[in-house]
């Protein structure tokens, strides 16, 4: 069964999101999904392009770097019009592809850290979908032993005999996942924005409260279409983002050159975090302290703010400097 076969493109133009959910929702009954938990301590990355109403000021509010106010929110892959979500990526490289950037454009790149595990659902993670997007990486898989199983958590107190009756068979489950992934990961441009109605309907069918629990599914994880599924995006419930995402760093960056797979950038400025939910721009990049003797080592992993550079093998790394006279450790990227 293909979700795309249930609704024609012409019907999609006139149907509302709620009408689409009424069509596809019943077809998802019994679907089982293996999904990860985004762990506390994970770093997330988001960017906004400077221009129009968004301008860099000496002091900016942190809220200017999060999600747009509802009155300015346009429909997206996961959100309805006039409904905001905190869109971000699990790598800083991805944000450069998610925005429509040209040479000369400037952005504010922000680094965020998760301070509570995020229970998410995921859409788009099938090998067929990855192949269609020309991904080079293998589609990730999550197992019950190491990650959350949202479907099981949602129905854990249901009579097992009832659960077995509604649970889809392996083949039917796989086919439905393929169908949902294909529909959700469709290419959308300015000429067919109405197709977002289908992706939003699918996303909303993957969200909600978890039965017999105070927890809820607070986000949708999905591969980035614009990076050909090489990177991962996340759309987070704004109430969760407000409470559990902490801004660690913000940088002002200029795009100097771009190609299909690469960007050349200049980092212009970095902000310090004020005590009143504000950013205070330093007027340039921070400099390393003067040391007469030091040891510099490239260390695998991100620094304390989530920043990194890539090694030749593609591994995230940062520099660790030890002042030989004082023993003080500094990090930079």
Q: Is residue 247 part of a domain?
A: yes
Task: Count how many domains the chain has.
Answer: 2
Range of the domain at 317: 287-332
Angstrom distance (rounded) from CA 264 to CA 226: 18
Residue 229, C-beta contacts closer than 8 angstroms, at least 6 positions apart: 124, 129, 130, 133, 134, 135, 137, 139, 223
Report CA 210 to chain centroid distance, whole Å.
21
Apex 76 CA angle, 70 and 78, nearest 5: 95
Same domain, 60 and 9: yes
Give the model confidence (pLDDT) of 232-276 as tens digits: 999 999 999 999 999 999 999 999 999 877 899 999 999 988 777
Do 256 and 306 share a domain, yes or no?
no
pTM given for the model:
0.88
Q: How confident is the model at residue 149 (pLDDT cuts 50, 70, 90)?
A: very low
Q: Can you tell me the mean pLDDT for 308-326?
A: 88
Residues 197 and 319 in one domain: no
Same domain, yes or no: 41 and 120: yes
Q: Is residue 81 part of a domain?
A: yes
pLDDT for 164 equals 56
Query: Does residue 193 belong to any structural domain of this protein?
Result: yes
The answer on 291 and 258 residing in a single domain is: no
Q: How far is Cα 137 from Cα 182, in angstroms, rounded to an integer?
A: 18
Are residues 297 and 230 part of one domain?
no
What is the residue-averaged pLDDT of the chain? 87
Q: 172 and 299 share a domain?
A: no
Among 225, 231, 261, 226, which Cα is nearest to 45's?
Answer: 231
Q: Is 281 among the domain residues?
A: no
Question: Which tens digit of pLDDT belongs to each residue from 87-108?
Answer: 999 999 999 999 999 999 999 9
82 located within any domain:
yes
Could you tell me if 164 and 307 lie in one domain? Answer: no
Tell me, yes or no, whether 65 and 183 share the same domain: yes
Q: What is d(CA 172, CA 210) in angstroms, rounded to the nearest whole number?
A: 24
Q: Rounded distance, CA 147 to CA 90, Å?
A: 17
20-50 tens-digit pLDDT:
999 999 888 888 888 999 999 999 999 999 9
The per-residue pLDDT for 142 is 85
Residue 325 or 244, more confident: 244
Listed in sequence order, the residues at least 6 apart from 122 whose beta carbon sits closer than 8 Å to its beta carbon are 33, 35, 36, 206, 220, 221, 222
HSE-up of residue 117 (Cα within 13 Å, Cβ side): 9
Tell me, yes or no, whether 282 lies in a domain: no
Residue 292 pLDDT: 78
Between CA 94 and CA 46 the distance in angstroms is 9
- What's the pLDDT score for residue 58? 73
What is the mean pLDDT of the segment spanning 143-172? 53
């Amino acid at each position: 069964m293909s979700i795309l076969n249930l609704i024609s493109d012409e019907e999609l133009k006139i149907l509302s999101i709620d009408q689409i959910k009424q069509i596809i929702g019943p077809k998802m009954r019994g679907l089982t999904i293996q999904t990860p938990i985004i762990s506390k301590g994970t770093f997330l990355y988001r960017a906004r392009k400077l221009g129009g109403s968004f301008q860099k000021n000496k002091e900016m509010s942190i809220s200017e770097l999060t999600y747009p106010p509802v009155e300015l929110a346009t429909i997206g892959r996961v959100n309805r019009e006039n409904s905001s979500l905190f869109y971000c990526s699990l790598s800083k490289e991805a944000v450069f592809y998610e925005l429509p950037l040209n040479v000369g454009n400037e952005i504010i790149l922000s680094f965020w850290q998760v301070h509570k595990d995020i229970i998410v659902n995921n859409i788009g993670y099938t090998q067929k979908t990855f192949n269609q997007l020309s991904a080079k990486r293998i589609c990730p898989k999550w197992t019950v032993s190491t990650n959350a199983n949202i479907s099981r958590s949602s129905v854990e107190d249901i009579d097992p005999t009832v659960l077995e009756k509604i649970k889809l068979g392996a083949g039917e489950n796989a086919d439905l996942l393929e169908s949902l992934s294909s529909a959700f990961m469709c290419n959308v441009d300015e000429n067919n924005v109405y197709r977002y109605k289908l992706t939003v309907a699918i996303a909303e069918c993957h969200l909600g409260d978890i039965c017999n629990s105070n927890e809820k599914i607070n986000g949708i994880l999905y591969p980035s279409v614009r990076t050909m599924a090489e990177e991962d995006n996340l759309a987070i419930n704004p109430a969760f983002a407000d409470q559990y995402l902490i801004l660690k760093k913000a940088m002002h960056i200029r795009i100097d050159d771009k190609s299909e797979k690469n960007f050349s950038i200049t980092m212009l400025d970095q902000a310090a975090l004020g005590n009143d939910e504000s950013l205070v721009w330093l007027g340039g990049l921070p400099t390393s302290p003067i040391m007469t003797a030091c040891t510099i080592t490239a260390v695998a992993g991100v620094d304390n703010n989530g920043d990194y550079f890539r090694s030749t093998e593609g591994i995230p790394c940062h520099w660790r400097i030890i002042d030989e006279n004082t023993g003080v450790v500094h990090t930079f990227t």
